């Protein structure tokens, strides 16, 4: 982070390391009015990551560097710190609660109790973290849903109020420690510090959802290449998170198998010719299938290939529907589902989703951004822009846990051990 006192500008960056692409964004934030200007974008293909896990470390570092270099070149500014997004099968969401008795305050003469301080809020949030977790799991986020003071419910800002008992309901997001440490080390090898690690589903929801949606009930579903993040809001708070191991790459693979063509060519066909609803594609318009050496030239209609796309997309939507039902919150989704991520960019996806799910649907793009927006205000950049604006979004999540990320403590321990030997 760089701050210029004269202009009151803050420069923040985020990096979204996906299984197909790495995206890096740099934004300029006006610290007075919190307006955001996008000044740098970088992207690179991912070959060193499979389903959220590192498969080729050296290759991944090169790919991260390529994305960062491109963003730096566009912004004409070097990155020294970055917010990192993380997702995968190692993410878990848990609802829990904690309660404390408000201590005596000699400066308070209220007969109703004692004044609640920021320290009281911190203490009760700390108690919510006292849960049993697997040895390889750590808490990534502590997200307050609401507070209770004695018999008063649904309180968002308890500081300054009086009472005798303070209770906090929170949503915890946990992650496998090794998953974070390995990605952090890749970035640190480039001489860049990781400021914070953020769940990708949270980042994309904050960059695309409206406050009314979060208050009255909405699900944000980010369809990536190999996984799909689901996060549900109600009454202004996060009530449910889930990551499922299926994404738009399954469609790409289906096309590749069906047409017997390389994955890269299959991805091009998916984006250019196919429709999520086959009956909205043409049976007359045909395109040539890329042929391998020695193969006879072939062609296929848009409608024919779209039938396979629709079948797979219905399967994905059914899984999403089941997750929303299992959450017990489907009836609270007043605003339905906001889809984002590259997988939601498929032609006629919105129409298919509305038909399969039977609830309101919209496609979510990053909001309230100026600058180089033509390239980046698309669903595929929801995570990256959410990460780069974390400084602002963090304030919107009332009393979010502000302690240093747990991965930093781990890294400090590692570095201290190394020092002992040298």
Query: What is the domain-level CATH number for residue 98?
Result: 3.30.1490.110
Distance CA 86, CA 177 (A): 11
Q: pLDDT tens for residues 101-137?
A: 997 544 444 445 689 999 999 999 999 998 888 888 8
CA-wise closest residue to 346 among 257, 238, 247: 247
Query: What is the model's pLDDT at position 398?
Result: 56
Is residue 282 included in any domain, yes or no?
yes
Least confident of 132-136, 329-333, 367-371, 406-410: 406-410
pLDDT at 296 over 90: no
| CB-based burial, 99-132: b 16+ in 10 Å, e otherwise | ebebeeeeeeeeeebbbbeeebbebbbebbbeee
Mean pLDDT in the chain?
88
The answer on 310 and 225 residing in a single domain is yes
Same domain, 215 and 358: yes
Which backbone phi and psi does 19 adopt, to 5 degrees? -75, -15
Torsion of CA 214, 218, 219, 223, to 10 degrees: -90
346 in the same domain as 272: yes
> Cα(245)–Cα(19) distance, rounded to whole angstroms?
12
Task: Note down the domain range covering 121.
Answer: 92-176
On whether both 160 and 247 belong to a single domain, the answer is no
Say if 43 falls within a structural domain: no
- Give the range with max mean pLDDT: 51-60, 86-95, 322-331, 369-378: 322-331
> For the residues 308-320, what does the mean pLDDT come to?
97
Share of residues in the chain with pLDDT > 90 (%): 71
**Within this chain, do residues 140 and 259 fall inside the same structural domain, yes or no?**
no
Neighbours of 325 (CB within 10 A): 11
- Rounded to whole angstroms, the Cα distance separating 124 from 147 reads 10
Q: Are residues 239 and 354 in the same domain?
A: yes
Percent of the chain with pLDDT over 70: 89
- Number of folded domains in the chain? 2
pLDDT the model gives residue 293: 65
* Rounded average pLDDT over 403-409: 48
CA dihedral 366, 214, 33, 159 (to 10 degrees): -150
Residue 141 CA to residue 170 CA, distance in Å, equals: 10
Whole-prediction pTM: 0.89
Is 410 a residue whose pLDDT tops 50? no
The pLDDT score that the predictor gives to residue 6 is 47
Same domain, 217 and 357: yes
Look at residue 104 in the predicted model and tell me its pLDDT: 55
- Both 117 and 262 in one domain: the answer is no
CATH number where 320 lies: 3.30.420.40
pLDDT value at 422 more than 60: no
Q: In the predicted model, is pLDDT for residue 390 greater than 80?
A: yes
Last residue of a domain, one of 329, 350, 365: 365
Which tokens sit at 408?
């930093």
pLDDT one-digit tens code per residue, 155-192 = 999 999 999 999 999 999 999 888 889 999 999 999 99
For residue 81, what pLDDT band results from cuts at 50, 70 and 90? very high
pLDDT at residue 4 tops 70: no
Q: Which of 126, 156, 176 is the last residue of a domain?
A: 176
Reading the block at residue 229, the tokens are 């993040």
Q: Is the pLDDT of residue 65 over 50?
A: yes
Question: Is there a contact between 32 and 8 (Cβ–Cβ < 8 Å)?
Answer: yes
Write out pLDDT tens, residues 243-278: 999 999 999 999 999 998 988 899 999 999 999 999
What is the reported pLDDT for 152?
A: 93
Residue 314, domain member (yes or no): yes
């Amino acid at each position: 982070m760089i701050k210029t006192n004269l202009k009151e500008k803050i420069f923040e960056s985020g990096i979204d390391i996906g299984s197909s692409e790495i995206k890096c964004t740099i934004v300029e934030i006006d610290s007075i009015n919190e307006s955001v200007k996008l000044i740098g974008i970088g992207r690179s293909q991912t070959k060193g990551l499979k389903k959220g896990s590192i498969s080729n470390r050296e290759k991944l570092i090169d790919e991260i560097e390529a994305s960062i270099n491109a963003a730096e070149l566009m912004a004409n500014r070097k990155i020294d710190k970055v917010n990192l997004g993380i997702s995968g099968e190692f993410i878990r969401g848990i609802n829990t609660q904690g309660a404390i008795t408000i201590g005596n305050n000699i400066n308070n003469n209220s007969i109703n109790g004692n004044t609640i301080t920021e320290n009281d809020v911190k203490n009760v949030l700390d108690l919510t973290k006292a849960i049993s977790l697997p040895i390889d799991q750590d808490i990534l986020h502590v997200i307050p849903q609401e507070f209770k003071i004695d018999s008063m419910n649904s309180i968002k800002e308890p500081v300054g109020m009086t009472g005798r008992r303070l209770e906090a309901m929170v949503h915890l997001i946990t992650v496998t420690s090794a998953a974070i440490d390995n990605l952090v080390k890749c970035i640190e090898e480039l001489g860049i510090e990781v400021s914070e690690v953020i769940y990708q589903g949270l980042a994309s929801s904050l960059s695309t959802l409206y406050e009314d949606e979060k208050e009255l009930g909405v699900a944000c579903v980010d369809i990536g290449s190999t996984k799909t993040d689901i996060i549900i809001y109600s009454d202004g708070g996060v009530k449910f998170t889930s990551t499922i191991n299926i994404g738009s790459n399954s469609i790409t693979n289906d096309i590749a198998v069906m047409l017997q063509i390389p994955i890269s060519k299959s991805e091009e066909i998916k984006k250019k010719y196919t429709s999520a609803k086959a009956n909205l594609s043409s049976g007359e318009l045909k395109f040539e299938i890329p042929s391998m050496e020695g193969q006879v030239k072939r062609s296929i209609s848009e409608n024919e290939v779209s039938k396979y796309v629709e079948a797979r997309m219905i399967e994905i939507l059914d899984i999403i529907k089941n997750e929303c039902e299992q959450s017990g919150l489907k009836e609270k989704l007043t605003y339905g589902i906001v889809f984002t991520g590259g997988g939601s960019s498929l032609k006629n996806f919105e129409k298919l989703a509305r038909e399969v799910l039977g609830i309101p649907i919209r496609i979510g793009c990053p909001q309230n951004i100026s600058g180089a927006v033509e390239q980046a205000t698309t669903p595929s950049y929801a995570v990256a822009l959410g990460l780069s604006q974390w400084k602002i979004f963090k304030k919107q999540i009332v009393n979010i846990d502000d302690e240093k990320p747990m991965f930093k403590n781990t890294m400090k321990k590692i570095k201290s051990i190394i020092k002992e030997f040298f």
